[in-house]
Structure 1
Amino acid sequence: MIEPGLVSFVAVILAGGQATRLGGADKASIEIHGRTLLEHALDAVIDAAEVVVVGPQVPTDRPATFVVEDPQFGGPVAGLLTARDNFLRKTPTIAVLAVDMPRITATTFRRLHEAAVGHDGAVLTGPDGRRQLAFVVDTERLDAVRPDRESQHGMALHALWEPLDLVEVPAAGTEHRDIDSWTDLRDLDS
């Protein structure tokens, strides 16, 4: 359960997908307003004590550890748990962000942490109520519900979340928008 007050956390940026609707483009390297999606994501987790990026290594001026999910292309659960195993620090919470959500900011994660107090975590929701790949989770609770290596491959995120008490936090403005296609990229600012 997440405690009140300033919470030390580590962050996972999920950037290891195949981006099939983008023709296999490396999402982390796509630029918006002269900055890569990875740079936007790293800004969003600026308060983290440590960052692990799940995906191919790309140049960045910010400290981050790059790993490939095990098994590769195993999905967001495999990516999250692979990152969990690569942290050097132990913190009460883990923040998780998909690299293709450039409207998420450090303020978003502060709101998620505040909402999560007394619960296992908090997850951002879009206007349609759909849970987004932007959430915080209590490290010990995540460890308690962690599936074995075989089960995490291809596991749906909602199945991992099922036993967790996650507060849903409505997105402010367009922070819920992600980039799954070239049309999403074109329409991001509309």
Structure 2
Amino acid sequence: MPDCPVPHSPAYDAIIVAGGRASRLGGIDKTSLEFEGVPLIHRAFDAVKSAARICVVGGDMLPLPARVERVRESPPWGGPAAAVATGIAALHDSTSPFTTVTAGDLPRVGEAMPALLAASAELPDDIDGVLAIDGSGQRQPLLAVYRTAALRRAVARAPSPENLPVRRLLDTLTLRELTLPDEWCADIDTPEDAAGVGIVIPPHSTAG
């Protein structure tokens, strides 16, 4: 199937955060888990297939499509804020006006991303991006579209990103919230999360 850009989507790059220890899942590479027969990381790739550039942060053992760049967060296991900072640094020479940031363990990212991209195309100049919130009002900074320049400024101004909460990394940005269905925002952190969407975890990988 040919790549089809999202209607009214701006030009953008994509950062996919694929690291993390997955300690509550026995330390497996949770992005390789399959949802409806497709690995989660492939769902992430497909959700941003119209991106000018795609950068995966982490996922050292993952086989990647030829066009996908891979970097490791600095420091290793430094958390999602470090991953975002590393990803935007890897894309330092890009001129895309927007950058999507997504976790690599979102089963429904393919439904969420078109809505976020469409919303980003309509942002006024004084808004730095749009991020998903679920029905409880929980912000999802790893399911969002940011103005590239604003994200670079936020990273430059932040303290050391190692183990920094992502919300702290982004707290200087003015962001628009987009309420999305809970299932579009849900990630896979625990065996219960996986079971809730029908993902089967290899028995030896479950946490003890």
Determine if the TM-score, normalized by the shorter chain, exceeds 0.5: yes
Deviation at 1:143, TM superposition (A): 1.8
Of the candidates 47, 70, 73, which is equivalent to residue 69 of structure 1? 73
Superposition map of 1:1-190 within 5 A = 6-55=9-58, 56-61=60-65, 63-87=67-91, 89-105=94-110, 106-114=113-121, 116-118=123-125, 119-132=127-140, 133-147=142-156, 151-172=160-181, 174-188=183-197
8 Å contact 1:123–1:136 — kept in the other structure? Answer: yes
Number of residue pairs matched by the alignment: 186
Q: Deviations over 1:107-138 (max 9, x none)?
A: 23323424544310011001111111201111
For 1:92 and 1:129, how far apart are their aligned partners in 2? 27
- Runs of at least 5 residues in structure 2 that lack an aligned partner in the other structure: 1-7, 199-208
Q: Which amino acid in structure 1 is aligned with residue 27 of structure 2?
A: G
What amino acid is the match of 2:116?
F
CA RMSD, 1 decimal: 2.1
Change (3 A) 1:149 1:131: closer
1:137–1:33 distance in 2 versus 1, CA, 3 Å: same
CA distance in 2, matches of 1:92, 1:57: 30
Q: Deviations over 1:57-94 (max 9, x none)?
A: 41234621111100111111110111112125321111
Q: Is the 8 A contact 1:178 1:184 kept in 2?
A: yes
Task: Note if contact 1:115-1:169 (Cα within 8 Å) is conserved in structure 2.
Answer: no
* Distance in 1 (alpha carbons) for counterparts of 2:77 and 2:70: 15
Structure showing greater Rg: 2
Structure 2 counterpart of 1:104, which letter?
V
Question: Which of 112-121 and 74-83 deviates more?
Answer: 112-121
Q: Is the 8 A contact 1:115 1:167 kept in 2?
A: no
Deviation at 1:170, TM superposition (A): 0.4
Task: Write the deviation string for residues 24-55 of structure 1: whole angstroms up to 9, x where unpaired.
Answer: 01012111122111001011111211100011
The structural deviation recorded for 1:149 is 8.5
Give the aligned residue type for 1:123: L
Q: CA deviation at 1:16?
A: 0.6
Identity of aligned residues (%): 31
Taking structure 2 as the reference length, what is the TM-score of the superposition? Answer: 0.82
Aligned-partner residue type, residue 187 of structure 1: G
Q: In structure 2, how many angstroms separate the alpha carbons of the residues matched to 1:62 and 1:117?
A: 35
Secondary structure of the corresponding residue to residue 41 of structure 1 = helix
User: Cα distance 1:22–1:10, how it changes in 2: closer, same or farther (>3 A)?
Assistant: same
Rounded to whole Å, the distance in 2 between the matches of 1:115 and 1:75 is 31
Cα distance, 1:173 vs structure 2: 5.6
Structure 1 runs not aligned, ≥5 long: none
TM-score by length of 1: 0.89
